[in-house]
Structure 1
Amino acid sequence: MSPSEPPTPGRPGRRRKNSEPAELPAAADQSAPGRADNSADRAGGRRKGGGRRKKEPRRFGRMLTLLVGALVVALVALGTVLFFDLTGDDEQQTAQETRPALYRIQDSRDSNMNVVLSSREDDTRPLNEGELFERHNSEISGQSLDFTLRDSDLTEDCSAAVWGDGLQQALTDADCTQAGRATYVSDDDIFGVVTVFNLADIEGSRAVAQAMELPETEEDEEPVDPGFVLPPSGNDPFDRLGAGYSAADAIITGHYLVVVWVQPADSESVEERVSLVAPLVTLANFRNPFFRRIGEVGGGEGTGTEEGAGDGTEEELVEDPPLEEEIPIEEQVEQPVDPGE
C-alpha cells in the first residue's frame, strides 16, 4: 500500500485481509430474530398479550342524554307550578268575609217543628249529605223561581263555615256538631247560599241567630262585626256575594238553624235596594228534610212535601206557618214632603 492511500478501518495495528468477511452491523444481527418471531406470531393468527387492545365505547353520550332529559322534566314542572301561582286555580278560590245588607231572624215559636225538634236529645240521627243535598234539594222551585244546586259541603267543623270570632264562639257555646252549606243559582239571575247548623237545642239556635246581628251603636261609632256565614265556594258569582244588595233570613228550625242568603247577579252596590222576598221564601224550602224528621221523632207521618206532590212552595208545609214577608221596598222609602205644606 502506498503512503498516499488511507488506512483501512479496523482494529489499530491490524490490517484486514481481503479474504476476511466484513462484520455485519450489530443492529442488523439483533433485529433479524425479532422479525422472525413477529412473522411467526402473525402466521399463527394471534397477538401477544402485551399487544394493543380494542378501546371500550365511551358512556359519556348516554349520560349526557339522561341529564338533558331530567333537566327538561324539571323545567316543565317548574313552569306548571309558576303558571298556577300566577293565574290562580278557580277550584281553590275562597269565599269573601262579607255580610248581607238586610238580616232578619224568623222564629215561629209555636210551630210544630220547633216543638218536636226542640232538642238533639230527641232527634239524635246526624245529618247526611243525601238528606240535605239530594231529592227536593237538588232543585228547589217556588214563587215562580227555579234554583239548581251547584256546590255543597257537610262538615263537623262548624267554625270553618263562618267567619268572625263572635259567631264562632256562639257556635261553640251552642254545641254545634255539624254545618251543612249549599250554593244555588237560578235562570232569573238570582244566586244564594243556604247554611244549616246542627245545635244542641232550640235555645242554642236562637243564640246563634242573635250572634249574627250587628250590635247597636251610636251614629258616629262603627259597630264590631261579629261575623257571618261563608259560602262553600268563592267561585263566580259567589265571589260577589255581599258586594251588591243582598238579604238573609235566619230561620229557627228546632235545634237546627237555617240561614238563607240571596242576591241578584247584576247588583253591584248595597245601596241598590230591591225586594228579595220571593227568592228568600223559595230557598227556605231547603228545610223539607226537617219536616220529614218530625215524623221520625214524633212517631207520626212527616208533614213536609212528598216527592211529586205540589210545587214545593212554603205554603205546602202546612204544619209550620209561612215565613214573615218582607215589607215592600216602596213602603220603606220615605214619602217626599210637599214644598207647599
Structure 2
Amino acid sequence: MRSSSRKRRRTRTPKSDWQLPLLSDMGLRPEQQRLLVIIASALGVVVLAVGLVAVVGSMGTGYLPDRAATAAAGGPGTARPDSFHGWSSPKLFEPINERAKDAKPLTEKELFAGKTLADEKKLTLKLVAQELGADCAAVLWGPDLVEKAADGECTQAARALYTSSDGRYVAQYTLLNLRDAKAADELVAELKAGYRGGWTHALQSEKASFPAGGYTEGGAYALGHYLGVVWIGRADGAEPAPKDDFVSVTLTLRGAEKAVYRRVVAITGQQPS
C-alpha cells in the first residue's frame, strides 16, 4: 500500500506558479492565468504613465524642471534659484503692516548708504550695483508674479547686488514696497508655489554676476508691508561645498533690511526685539 501511495504522489501534476486560487476557481488554466497577469501588469504601467503625465500637466506652465528649461522658456534674464524658502511677516513688523502708517517713500540714501555688509565670521559683502525705481514689473519676470505684485499695489522696487570680499559669492537683495502685510504674505505664497516660473531679474554689473546656469538659492521675507527677496550663489556657479556657508551669506545679506527696521523704530520709538 505504501508503494502504491508513493507512486500516486510522484505522478501528481506539480502546481504552477501561475495557478492562483481565485483564478482557478473561475476555471482558468495556469497558462491562461499567466497571460492575464502579464496583461494586467502592462495595463498598470500604462495607467501609471498616464497618471504621471496628468500630474505634471496639472502643475501648470509655471513649472519648469531645470535651469536650462527655465532659460529656454523665459529667455534672457529669467534665471531663478534652485531652492526657495519663504516666511510671512512676523509680529515685530506689525507697526508697519500698512503702508498708510509708513507712507514716506524709500530713498537711496537710507537703502544704500552702507557700502558693505558684514557678519561676526569675517564675511563681508561689498555693494557693486544698486537701483531704486517705481516700476516693480521691470524688476520681476513671470506673468503670475508680476500680476500679484500689481495686485499688491507695489510702488517701489529696490535692488542691490553684492559680492563677497574674497570673490567667492554673489548675492542680490530686492525690496518691494507693497500696500500692506497681506499683500506681502500673498507674494511669499506665490513664490512658494511658482518661483520656478517667476523671479527677480538680476542686476547687471561688470564687478559681479550670477553665472548662466549656475546653482543659486533664494528666499522671501514679508516685513510688514515690504517684501524682501534674497538670492545667493557661488561666483563660479558651483553647488555649495562643505566649506560653503550659505546660511551665513543669507543672514549677512539681510543686513540690507536695516532701513525697514529703522522705520519700525521711527513709529514705535523702540528697538524691535
Name the TM-score, length of structure 1 as normaliser: 0.53
Partner of residue 56, structure 2: none
Q: Which amino acid aligns with 2:222?
A: I
Among 226, 234, 251, which residue is 2:197 paired with? 226
Name the TM-score, length of structure 2 as normaliser: 0.66
The alignment status of 1:138 with 2:115, answered yes or no, reads yes
The alignment status of 1:261 with 2:240, answered yes or no, reads no
The alignment status of 1:106 with 2:87, answered yes or no, reads yes
Q: Which amino acid aligns with 1:229?
A: T
Partner of residue 191, structure 2: 212
User: For the Cα contact (< 8 Å) 2:128–2:205, is it kept in 1?
Assistant: no
Distance across 1 between alignment mates of 2:210 and 2:233: 12
Among 178, 183, 191, which residue is 1:199 paired with? 178
CA RMSD of aligned residues (A): 2.3
Question: 3-state DSSP class of the match of 1:105?
Answer: strand
Moved over 4 A (4+): 270-275
User: For the Cα contact (< 8 Å) 1:251–1:258, is it kept in 2?
Assistant: yes
Distance across 1 between alignment mates of 2:76 and 2:105: 26
Q: CA deviation at 1:233?
A: 1.3
Q: CA deviation at 1:166?
A: 0.8
User: For the Cα contact (< 8 Å) 1:196–1:258, is it kept in 2?
Assistant: yes
- List runs of 5+ in structure 2 lacking aligned partners: 1-74
Q: CA deviation at 1:239?
A: 4.5
Q: Percent identity?
A: 27
Counting helix residues as a fraction of each chain, which structure ranks higher? 2
Q: Which amino acid aligns with 1:163?
A: W
Q: CA deviation at 1:206?
A: 0.9
Summarize deviations over 1:64-88 as a string: whole Å, max 9, x none.
xxxxxxxxxxxxxxxxxxxxxxxxx
User: For the Cα contact (< 8 Å) 2:158–2:176, is it kept in 1?
Assistant: yes
Partner of residue 129, structure 1: 108
CA separation of 1:235 and 1:227: change in aligned 2, threshold 3 A: farther
User: For the Cα contact (< 8 Å) 1:245–1:272, is it kept in 2?
Assistant: no
Distance across 2 between alignment mates of 1:263 and 1:271: 8
User: For the Cα contact (< 8 Å) 2:153–2:179, is it kept in 1?
Assistant: yes
Question: 3-state DSSP class of the match of 2:109?
Answer: helix
Distance across 2 between alignment mates of 1:271 and 1:117: 36
CA separation of 1:179 and 1:271: change in aligned 2, threshold 3 A: same
CA separation of 1:296 and 1:101: change in aligned 2, threshold 3 A: same
Among 251, 258, 261, which residue is 1:281 paired with? 251
Distance across 2 between alignment mates of 1:289 and 1:178: 14
Partner of residue 247, structure 1: 217
User: For the Cα contact (< 8 Å) 1:95–1:231, is it kept in 2?
Assistant: no
CA separation of 1:289 and 1:246: change in aligned 2, threshold 3 A: same
Structure with the greater relative contact order (CA < 8 A, sep ≥ 6): 1 or 2?
2
Among 123, 127, 130, which residue is 1:149 paired with? 127
Structure with greater Cα Rg? 1
Summarize deviations over 1:40-95 as a string: whole Å, max 9, x none.
xxxxxxxxxxxxxxxxxxxxxxxxxxxxxxxxxxxxxxxxxxxxxxxxxxxxxx97
Q: CA deviation at 1:96?
A: 2.3
Write out aligned runs for 1:1-341 (5 A): 96-107=77-88, 109-110=90-91, 112-113=92-93, 115-134=94-113, 137-144=114-121, 145-188=123-166, 189-215=168-194, 225-233=196-204, 235=206, 237-240=208-211, 243-268=213-238, 275-298=245-268, 300-301=269-270, 303=271, 319=273
Partner of residue 74, structure 1: none
CA separation of 1:225 and 1:283: change in aligned 2, threshold 3 A: closer
Partner of residue 55, structure 1: none
Would you say how many aligned residue pairs link Structure 1 and Structure 2? 196
- List runs of 5+ in structure 1 lacking aligned partners: 1-93, 216-223, 304-317, 320-341
User: For the Cα contact (< 8 Å) 2:135–2:157, is it kept in 1?
Assistant: yes
